[in-house]
Structure 1
Amino acid sequence: MVSTGRPFIAALCAMSACLGGGAAAAWTPAQLMPPGATVTGQTESGLDSYAMPVGGWSRAGIDTVTAEGRLDQQAWRTDTAPASTLDLLAPMRRALQDQGYEVVFECEDTACGGFDFRYGTKVLPEPDMHVDLGDYRYLAARRGTEDAEDLVSLFVSRSPGAGYIQITRLDEAAASEPGSLVASTMSPGDLVSGVKRDTAKMSDIAALIEAQGRVPLDDLAFSTGSYALGPGDYASLSALADWLKAEPSRRVALVGHTDDEGALDTNIALSKRRAASVRDRLVSSYGIEASRLDARGVGYLAPRTANDSDAGRLANRRVEAVRTQ
């Protein structure tokens, strides 16, 4: 049982007043957070695109609104437990509305789509952001004009003794500001706190695929539930591209793998999207013809190790290149 008291709710409700300043005023995520909340994780993607969910999950997928701009995502934790996720979300909703945001979608766990919505949405990994699949809320809001939109989404959940908040913000107007094209210096492997992936020497990729017919691209990292490949150069992709360019008849299948969190069908779909993300990067950044690349996904059916630890799950979230010709 999660317990709380009136002081938590009163302090949280007071924070909307601190934003103030009218519809276009600048604000920071810290101003939105309840008193005592601390940052547990963050990604700054520079200029990026964000497909913000604006509808619950269905068999047809999740309705989204997509925009490009400066994308920032933070996870926060408060050790003062809310009585409910609504107690946590409601004051932040009011604060956004005071800033001129329009709430375009809001849902609660089962109505959102439960597991499928959670893992179809961009969420920072545990332990930075904890999501109880039976106790979470999501909100999407927007402000601005058709030429420059500001998108914000909130994901809140709780555990006994703590509340968790994720805020994702995309500012289209910031895309034209000096320095907005600078991507994060955070490496993909750092997306999973405290876990380091053992990587093979990227110079060995050509030898391995020649000898074994397959090679894991181990400098690519995927958080649980995420299919997007982060910005930056990857030594494995560069080496694989060089190998493909050396002989135009060579072809590979990119095979995505996941950890074992969630249903098999969902993980197969996720792993295929990861493989497709790698294929798209090889085409757009390394000049490989799409006809020479296939993207497949097998979900959690071919693990390299047990999924009973963060390190194991990280090792199993991967894409492998398999020689087909």
Structure 2
Amino acid sequence: MRRWLALVVTLCLPHSGGALELTLPGNAVMSAEVVQEADTYFLPTGPFENGTQPRQRLDGRVTQQAWRFTGQGLTTLQVLAPLRATLEAAGWQVLFECSDQDCGGFDFRFNTPILPAPDMFVDLFDFRYLAARREGSTPEYAALVVSRAGETGYVQISHITEAGGAMLQTAPGGSVEKDTKGDAPNADPLAQALLEQGHAVLRDLEFASGETTLGPGPYASLLALAEFLNADPARRVALVGHTDSVGALDANSALSRARARAALERLVTVHGVASAQLEAEGLGYLAPIASNRTPAGREANRRVEAVLLDSQ
């Protein structure tokens, strides 16, 4: 018989009615918690499609928790359903709900704020997402992500209490409808991802299997990154290479670092980016974004990412 435990997830501020009780499997343990008293959170409010991720900008108190449980044999729907029921019973309105490919798969996951592995894991072919809002003197928002890997289940719970800041909604095509809190974000999706999320995958780079030489291109991602960096000499990024889990860690780390270095050299020699704005690193297979159990997952894990660094 499956065991369940009512866990008191302390995500709500006192004026919003106290802690919210959410029901998780009985052996669930919290693997990470991040609390920001004043931060910006971009809440996905629809599926990624036509190159655009609908999101709502929320400014306020942001709490994120990652939970992990094992051996329950539960599907992602079986985990999410009681969480949804609890939210609705407490007066929350579901804004958007989806599952893996219906959400937009790879692109949706990378436009959703996710705590890093190993605390939170998202299988691109087996996850569910739910966004909800509760009205009140201070509006509250919640985002739930449920996934699993083998016998291990993962749940991320994000809670945002709005601080009365300006709201921003990205419209189809990536244009900005409203921004009353300073500079408008760059309309380019890669630049926007760097500014809003701190990282972006350079998805169109081509390397032969096991090779470190970058194909001739041209590559739209490198052009967009170069424009972003050349527009402000104070901006700096780290190019970080990643591999799948096939092979030894030392070899994969060297391969991933060499591929990141190849992208760096192309930015400098072809696109005129100052080398002082760039650095190259390699993590091998230590930071997957998908399960290495499938060909699609391994392909997603083989990537080079740009990570925005502190300009000081």
Does the TM-score normalized on the shorter chain lie above 0.5?
Answer: yes
Distance 1:226 1:27, change over 3 A: farther
Q: How far apart, in 1, do the equivalents of 2:222 and 2:79 lie? A: 30
Task: Provide, for residues 106-136 of structure 1, a one-character-per-residue CA deviation record: whole Å limited to 9, x for no partner.
Answer: 0000100011101111101111101111000
Asked whether the 8 Å contact 1:37–1:76 carries over to 2, the reply is yes
Q: How far apart, in 2, do the equivalents of 1:271 and 1:155 lie? A: 33
Map residues 311-322 of structure 1 onto 2, 5 A cutoff. Answer: 318-319=307-308
Map residues 113-192 of structure 1 onto 2, 5 A cutoff. Answer: 113-145=104-136, 148-172=138-162
Distance 1:257 1:102, change over 3 A: closer
Q: Work out which of the residue numbers 44, 50, 71 in structure 1 matches 2:41.
A: 50
Q: Work out which of the residue numbers 61, 71, 74 in structure 2 matches 1:80.
A: 71
Distance 1:69 1:164, change over 3 A: same
Distance 1:292 1:273, change over 3 A: closer
- What stretches of structure 2 of length at least 5 have no aligned partner? 9-15, 166-192, 206-218, 242-258, 262-279, 289-300
Aligned partner of residue 45 in structure 2, secondary structure: strand
Distance 1:58 1:34, change over 3 A: same
Percent identity, aligned pairs only, is: 31
Map residues 58-73 of structure 1 onto 2, 5 A cutoff. Answer: 58-73=49-64
RMSD: 4.4
Match of 1:26 in 2: 18
1:42 is displaced (CA, Å) by 2.0
Q: Work out which of the residue numbers 261, 286, 291 in structure 2 matches 1:310.
A: 286
1:100 pairs with 2:91? yes
Distance 1:32 1:227, change over 3 A: farther
Considering fraction of residues, name the structure with more helix: 1
Aligned partner of residue 57 in structure 1, secondary structure: coil
Asked whether the 8 Å contact 1:142–1:149 carries over to 2, the reply is yes
1:15 is displaced (CA, Å) by 7.1
Aligned partner of residue 46 in structure 2, secondary structure: strand
1:264 pairs with 2:204? yes
Asked whether the 8 Å contact 1:257–1:298 carries over to 2, the reply is no
1:142 is displaced (CA, Å) by 0.3
Asked whether the 8 Å contact 1:79–1:161 carries over to 2, the reply is yes
Asked whether the 8 Å contact 1:48–1:70 carries over to 2, the reply is yes
Aligned partner of residue 82 in structure 2, secondary structure: helix
Distance 1:299 1:108, change over 3 A: same
TM-score by length of 1: 0.54
Aligned partner of residue 108 in structure 2, secondary structure: helix
TM-score by length of 2: 0.56
Aligned partner of residue 74 in structure 1, secondary structure: strand
1:139 is displaced (CA, Å) by 0.3
Distance 1:226 1:42, change over 3 A: farther
Q: How far apart, in 1, do the equivalents of 2:153 and 2:41 lie? A: 25
